[in-house]
Amino acid sequence: MSNILLGKYEAVIGLEIHVQLSTKSKLFCGDSTSFGAEPNTHISPITLAHPGTLPKLNKKAVEYAVKLGLACGCEIERFNYFARKNYFYPDLPKGWQTTQHTTPICVGGTITVKTEIGTREIQMHHIHMEEDAGKSTHDIYEDSTCVDLNRAGTPLVEIVSEPDMHTADEAWQYVNEIRKIVRWIGISDGNMEEGSLRCDANVSIRLKGDTELGTRCEVKNLNSTRNIKKAIEFEIERMVKMTEKGEKILQQTRSFNADNDTTFAIRDKEEANDYRYFPEPDLAPLHLSEQYVQSLKKELPALPKDLQQKYQDEFSLSQYDAEQLCAEKEIADYFEKVLPHSKHYKAISNWITGPLKHFTNEHKITFSDLSLTPQQLAETIALIEDGKLNFSIASSQVLPELLKDKNASAITIATTRNLLQTSNSNELEKWIDAAITKMPDKVNEYNKGKKGLIGLFVGEVKKLSKGKADLQKVTEILQEKLAQQANNR
């Protein structure tokens, strides 16, 4: 698609994101919510909707939903009720879904996204609580469908944005940010592969400058951030092409085919679904007191964007470093744990975002599983800052030893393995003389005024000493020696 054509139109995107809350039990009964159990094993009579069973609201789920709203700057609805959304589906045993209808627990709010073209606050519409349905699998048997009701009744929040995004990239960032927040505040694992976070993308286009919304299509059940991006890109292009050909866009529900990154229609949207909502008579309305909401606010951890700002302001870290440290809660927590032991903020950040991040990625662990203690790291950094140990030796030779033993110390490892930097002049001079003798031409050039060559000699000494030479000292001695040589000529 040519950019000129895309430049003529503006895409409008609104997302509905379902997030499974990580409560131990379901929204209205004590059945386990754990993922991956044998099909149909977490199904008490309540989940199975046997006649006469009654729901009981899970307090933790309410707490999680309120926390999410607070983290996103939403208004918290103090008066809540649940409603029955009536429809028939094989994996919905009750014949209705219990959901919030006119009183979503959180209203408004924003999510900050950063794209190549800058930072934007994406407006949210609301967040409501509801229960998940069971899971139908159509591809096990050719002529029948398997229904697993373990998931039925799992607590969800549905996060509905305003139609306020305009590129696939923005939508992608929005989902990433929501995933980060729910993980950060500990209300969901945000795991898209396991279906803990699922997204429906509503897409429309309009001529640039128009204010009315165009006819939208809704792509259902996108289960990875990549697919969200691809589906939206495809939809925008499809709609632009159709409009250019003079074809009318129909309001449709569509599905994404990840094999070729296209979408296809599954149904034309019925004019208005009539779910015959009515207040759930078996659940009392829920009033949230001011005190309750305030107490949850106090429990919230510092949020990533606030921490990021703090790291930039208080520790003079770059925006990039601060972002890296706040990429995951576990990383920020680790950084915070090192702070009481060291004031070398930039060095701590470099270790975390460099060798330690590399190690955790490689071993597929999080920073909370990292065996390196904050003290061990702080001590290693101190040795480097004091000029006793070189960073690359520390990260390549000392760190692996430290990671094997919580009680090991950098100084002991570096001493026993003879890795400490030396500022012993006799030793240094051996390497310095060797470097000078090796490059007589460069020495000449240096003495004729090309002082920048000092780095070359220093580098050579570093190589010869295998990183053990104290380079500060080396530079001083080198400068003296080279000056002497010039004078002796």
Residues that bind ligand ADP (CB under 6 A): 12-16, 160-163, 202-204, 213-214, 216, 218
Q: How far is the CB of 202 from ligand ADP (least distance, A)?
A: 3
Q: How far is the CB of 171 from ligand ADP (least distance, A)?
A: 10
Q: How far is the CB of 125 from ligand ADP (least distance, A)?
A: 6
Q: How far is the CB of 82 from ligand ADP (least distance, A)?
A: 17
Q: State which residue, 108 or 163, has the beta carbon closest to ligand ADP.
A: 163
Q: How far is the CB of 231 from ligand ADP (least distance, A)?
A: 13
Q: How far is the CB of 16 from ligand ADP (least distance, A)?
A: 5
Q: State which residue, 125 or 329, has the beta carbon closest to ligand ADP.
A: 125
Q: State which residue, 11 or 370, has the beta carbon closest to ligand ADP.
A: 11
Nearest-angstrom CA–CA distance, 450 and 49: 85
- Nearest residue by C-beta to ligand ADP? 14
Q: How far is the CB of 15 from ligand ADP (least distance, A)?
A: 6
Q: How far is the CB of 180 from ligand ADP (least distance, A)?
A: 20
Q: State which residue, 199 or 443, has the beta carbon closest to ligand ADP.
A: 199
The pair of structure tokens assigned to 87 is 């429809």
Reduce the secondary structure of the chain to three states and give it as a string. CCHHHHHHEEEEEEEEEEEECCCCECCCCCCECCCCCCCCCCCCCCCCCCCCCCCCCCHHHHHHHHHHHHHCCCEECCEECCEEEECCCCCCCCCEEEECCCCCCEECCEEEEEECCEEEEEEEEEEEEEECCCEEECCCCCCCCEEECCCCCCEEEEEEECCCECCHHHHHHHHHHHHHHHHHCCCCCCCCCCCCEEEEEEEEEEECCCCCCCCCEEEEEECCHHHHHHHHHHHHHHHHHHHHCCCCCCCEEEEEECCCCEEEEEEECCCCCCCCCEECCCCCCEECCHHHHHHHHHHCCCCHHHHHHHHHHHHCCCHHHHHHHCCCHHHHHHHHHHHHHCCCHHHHHHHHHHHHHHHHHHCCCCHHHCCCCHHHHHHHHHHHHCCCCCHHHHHHHHHHHHHHCCCCCHHHHHHHCCCCCECCHHHHHHHHHHHHHHCHHHHHHHHCCCHHHHHHHHHHHHHHCCCCECHHHHHHHHHHHHHHHHHHC
Q: How far is the CB of 245 from ligand ADP (least distance, A)?
A: 20
Q: State which residue, 26 or 126, has the beta carbon closest to ligand ADP.
A: 126
Q: State which residue, 130 or 460, has the beta carbon closest to ligand ADP.
A: 130
Q: State which residue, 213 or 365, has the beta carbon closest to ligand ADP.
A: 213
Q: State which residue, 44 or 252, has the beta carbon closest to ligand ADP.
A: 252
Q: State which residue, 15 or 62, has the beta carbon closest to ligand ADP.
A: 15
